Structure 1
Amino acid sequence: NEEEVIEVGINGKMNELQAAMGLAVLEHIEEERQKRAIIKHTYIENLKDIPGIKLMPDLPGVRSSYQYFAIRIDEEEFGRSRDYVYEELKKYNIFTRKYFHPLCSNFECYRHLPSADPKNLPIANKIGNGVLSMPFYGELTQEDVKRIAEIVRWINEH
């Protein structure tokens, strides 16, 4: 499930049908990127002043793929945990993803390693417990994004 990794695996090897589908959608990538750029801007404008919501900055010289729109929730500043926000948004049929969760160091198969000790990874654990990937696809409307941001703001205020 999305919360539990029970053994080491791979994240790759698409089959022929997936490859054909990928080739078919290549001609639509730039259009999708442009739509997502607008959605990203709408998210930023509507989330930027909510205490405890940290937005990922654009880096000079980097061309975004616009694959994800992730925010970081600082629990102390926001007043609620990332997991609380995740569960509350589900009540409104807004499905997000706990990104970088669980950290690889927390997988059962790696926990025994000295390098996986949480004392060695305080920043990774803090960040990993706060990142939330928001709904982000070309057909998402600006009104939907504004509604999502309003709900996040409401969660922050209540």
Structure 2
Amino acid sequence: MILPAALALVDCVLVSSDDQVFGIRSARVADHHSLEPPELANISSTSTIDWKGQQLPVLSLRRLLSQAEDEADGQPERNLIVCQPDPNRPARSRGRDRFALIVDSVYGKQETLVRGLGRHAARWLGVSGATELLDGNVALVLDVEHLIEAQVNPER
């Protein structure tokens, strides 16, 4: 079978935010676990978490995607994924060190066939492609570094 150049097989960790499923390249995910309400309250007050002796900044995927922060949605428990620098980028352009990202759910790892966005890529900052999930739904594959850059430098 011949695949167009706009397609790539990528291992992704599937996560949800505001009832939408997204993929994050598994090479970027160092760890993930559930957060209990006391942990979530501590993170809310400090915006950091201790991970293996390191203090990591904590970001919310909902905030990065400009989704509603609905604390009363009946889901007090959230999940945390620890993101590491992209090993495939040159060291000088890897961006920030490790950080933690709060998501609603982590569904697990899945090999996905990612399609590029083509001419629409410039409009979707922080999105590196799209994939069809096993259930037939479409998930956007996120480039978390670019999502953060878009929040820090919105004029870009």
Normalized per residue, the structure richer in strand is 2
> By the TM > 0.5 criterion, same fold?
no
Normalized per residue, the structure richer in helix is 1
Point out the structure with max Rg over C-alpha.
Answer: 1
Calculate the TM-score normalised by the size of structure 1: 0.29
